Amino acid sequence: MSWIVRFQPASARAVSGGLLDDRPALVSRIWDLGANAIVEQPATDATASAALIAGFDDPASAHRAVRMAADWGYSATVDPVDTPWHSDAPSQVTISTIRGPVALTLIAGPTFGHGSHPTTELALELLSRSVNLDRPPGRVLDLGTGSGVLAIAAHHLGAKSITAIDLDPAAVDTAKANFEANGVVARCSTVAAEDLVGESGEFDTVLINVLVSAHERLAPSVGRLLARRGRLIVSGFLEHQQTRVINAYQRARPTLRELTTVSRDEWIGSLLGQPPGYPPPESEPATADAG
Ligand SMILES: C[S@@+](CC[C@H](N)C(=O)[O-])C[C@H]1O[C@@H](n2cnc3c(N)ncnc32)[C@H](O)[C@@H]1O
């Protein structure tokens, strides 16, 4: 059983391209409440207004979403449906690599990560850009792996090793199935990033697509786990939240700089890394990896 919540603006609202102007913030909030999928339905003509439709696995979360809607000036209805709303159908995601495009087959199952959410696409683009720029991913940590999509892309882009974690056991099961289907060898476990025990500087690339509040919470652990010349690919936040995210990681690792930023549908993704020439060659540790 799934619960479908339909949000519609309680009054006339600004719309661009058929979609509500204020939807990104509401979409973030709905993911926060535990939605397993969100679809934006554009206004089709002058009479049908735009709507957001979200699926939930449990009725309590669906009803919390309905109560929250009023605070945002939306009305909401909830309906139970017999079949899970997320899709088990495999989706195709294409990533660009230095050897050309590679198609991945993914089953998102009950988790986030069918590959075509803008936040995932941004992270995939930044990963390709980082590699095409100058360096292979090295030892990769995919933090909040979901379906495993980013880890699988990292594998195709030449990752030396992959560690994938998620606090949601259903995500870990799905990621493991996808790793097997795509021939990826990865350490994959159910663990909250806050509890991840790892050596300092263990990872050359950390991939992390979570909400702004989670970025802020996880930045100290990520800063510790990142190698000295490591790179961080962050997405899952909106333009007005970018400074908060970058500040959080710079507090954890003051040498990090914003190397590239990309955007899609109001979502932002950034590649953070060390400025060129850091660290000076004489201070580079003998174990430094990945470029
Ligand atoms: C937005 S999804 C991203 C999935 C996939 N990496 C992608 O980019 O499509 C965020 C994932 O992070 C997981 N997550 C959120 N907070 C986490 C935490 N503190 N520790 C581990 N996983 C977390 C969620 O369960 C969810 O699967």
**What are the residue boundaries of the structural domains of the chain, listed by start?**
2-81, 91-283
Instruction: Out of 111, 117, 168, give the residue to mutate to test ligand 1, the one with the largest number of ligand atoms within 8 Å of its CB.
Output: 168
pLDDT value of residue 71 = 78
pLDDT value of residue 286 = 45
* pTM, 2 dp: 0.72
Percent pLDDT > 90 in the chain is 35
Question: Band of the pLDDT at 189, cuts 50, 70, 90?
Answer: very high
Q: What is the mean pLDDT of residues 136-142?
A: 95
pLDDT value of residue 290 = 40
Q: Whose CA is nearest to atom 4 of ligand 1?
A: 146
pLDDT value of residue 127 = 93
Q: What is the mean pLDDT of residues 270-274?
A: 95
Fold of the 2-81 domain: Alpha-Beta Plaits (3.30.70)
Percent pLDDT > 70 in the chain is 79
- Name the residue among 270, 259, 265 with its Cα closest to residue 235: 270
Ligand 1 pocket residue status of 93, Cβ below 6 Å: no
Residues listed for the chain: 291
Q: Does residue 18 carry a pLDDT above 60?
A: no
Calculate how far, in angstroms, residue 10's C-alpha sits from the geometric centre of ligand 1.
Answer: 31
Q: Does residue 191 carry a pLDDT above 60?
A: yes
* Distance of alpha carbon 207 from the chain centroid: 8
Ligand 1 pocket residue status of 144, Cβ below 6 Å: yes
- Residue 131 and residue 155 in contact, taking contact as beta carbons nearer than 8 Å: no
Residues 215-262 pLDDT 10s? 999 999 999 999 999 999 999 888 889 999 999 999 999 999 999 999
- Pull the structure tokens for residue 97: 């690599």
Architecture of 91-283 per CATH? 3-Layer(aba) Sandwich (3.40)
Residues 72-126 pLDDT 10s? 778 888 877 654 445 555 666 777 666 677 777 787 665 666 666 788 889 999 9
Ligand 1 pocket residue status of 151, Cβ below 6 Å: no
Q: What is the mean pLDDT of residues 173-179?
A: 91
- Mean pLDDT over the full length of the chain: 82
Ligand 1 pocket residue status of 165, Cβ below 6 Å: yes
Calculate how far, in angstroms, residue 48's C-alpha sits from the geometric centre of ligand 1.
Answer: 34
Instruction: Out of 28, 104, 111, 112, give the residue to mutate to test ligand 1, the one with the largest number of ligand atoms within 8 Å of its CB.
Output: 112
In ligand 1, the atom with minimum distance to the C-alpha of 117 is 9
Ligand 1 pocket residue status of 193, Cβ below 6 Å: yes
Q: Does residue 141 carry a pLDDT above 90?
A: yes
How far apart CA 201 and CA 155 sit, in angstroms, is 20
Q: What is the mean pLDDT of residues 53-82?
A: 82
Calculate how far, in angstroms, residue 210's C-alpha sits from the geometric centre of ligand 1.
Answer: 6
Ligand 1 pocket residue status of 110, Cβ below 6 Å: no
Residues 6 or more apart in contact with residue 283 via CB below 8 angstroms: none
How many alpha carbons lie under 13 Å from residue 143 in its C-beta half-sphere?
32
Calculate how far, in angstroms, residue 168's C-alpha sits from the geometric centre of ligand 1.
Answer: 8
Ligand 1 pocket residue status of 152, Cβ below 6 Å: no
Question: Band of the pLDDT at 168, cuts 50, 70, 90?
Answer: confident
Q: Poorest-confidence range of 31-45, 116-130, 175-189, 190-204?
A: 31-45
72 or 274: which leads in pLDDT: 274
How far apart CA 184 and CA 204 sit, in angstroms, is 18
Q: What is the mean pLDDT of residues 264-272?
A: 90
